[in-house]
């Protein structure tokens, strides 16, 4: 079902046609935001934040080990959750900021905020489970099979990892 979409996304990424790539996701992202937030103004704000982040990552030449659709839905979910948590979705840009400039401060910050970087601080088993779940896009049953674990152990590892990541992100660790 997703194979055709993934192949088209790969083609658009390889040819550098980011405008067409992102345009194909606009309506589904906005619909998901609207369904989750139930407020058209909030949905528009969150949708804009999602696409600003996607544009920024593509402009920096970011590559992914998962299909682009997975990236879009993860960023959408994170941004909706940030909205629910009351975190600001936008931060004013410094004067004279040029997104095309090499070595800008935002690119350095974004590299430090990468999910893989966050996972490094987790215990080995939790890190393995999170990498398979969030970087490879596997569901918990497939993770259990891949690591030779029971499904319940995968769920516990994810739960404990989420708690540690939350603590680290909120400044407690």
More confident residue, 87 or 19: 19
The pLDDT score that the predictor gives to residue 165 is 83
Residue 126 has a pLDDT of 92
The predicted pLDDT at position 166 comes to 83
Distances (CA, A) of 42 to 4, 47, 49, 125, 146: 32, 8, 11, 38, 39
Average pLDDT over the chain, rounded to whole? 81
Distance of CA 87 to the CA centre of its chain: 16
Mean of pLDDT values over 71-83? 88
Rounded Cα distance between 111 and 129, Å, is 22
In the chain, where the domains are located: 1-85, 111-173
Is the domain spanning 111-173 CATH 1.10.10.10? The answer is: yes
At residue 104, the pLDDT reads 47
CA-closest candidate to residue 159, choices 135, 136, 142, 140: 140
What's the mean pLDDT in 36-57? 89
Residue of 138, 171, 172 lying closest to 157 (CA atoms): 138
What pLDDT score does 87 carry? 58
Q: Region 22-39: what's the mean pLDDT?
A: 89
Tens-digit pLDDT profile for residues 106-157: 444 444 446 667 787 889 999 899 888 877 788 899 999 999 999 999 999 9
What whole-number percentage of the chain has pLDDT above 70?
79
Topology of domain 1-85, CATH: Rna Polymerase Sigma Factor; Chain: A (1.10.1740)
């Amino acid at each position: 079902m997703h194979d055709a979409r993934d192949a088209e996304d790969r083609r658009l990424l390889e040819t550098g046609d980011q405008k067409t790539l992102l345009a194909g996701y606009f309506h589904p992202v906005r619909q998901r935001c609207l369904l989750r937030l139930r407020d058209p103004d909030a949905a528009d704000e969150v949708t804009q934040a999602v696409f600003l982040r996607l544009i920024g990552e593509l402009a920096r030449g970011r590559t992914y080990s998962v299909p682009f659709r997975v990236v879009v839905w993860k960023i959408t979910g994170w941004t909706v959750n940030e909205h629910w948590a009351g975190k600001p979705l936008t931060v004013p840009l410094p004067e004279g900021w040029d997104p095309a400039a090499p070595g800008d401060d935002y690119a350095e910050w974004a590299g430090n905020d990468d999910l893989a970087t966050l996972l490094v601080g987790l215990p080995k088993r939790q890190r393995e489970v999170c990498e398979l779940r969030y970087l490879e896009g596997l569901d918990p049953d497939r993770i259990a099979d891949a690591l030779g674990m029971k499904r319940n152990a995968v769920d516990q590892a994810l739960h404990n990892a989420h708690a540690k990541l939350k603590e680290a992100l909120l400044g407690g660790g």
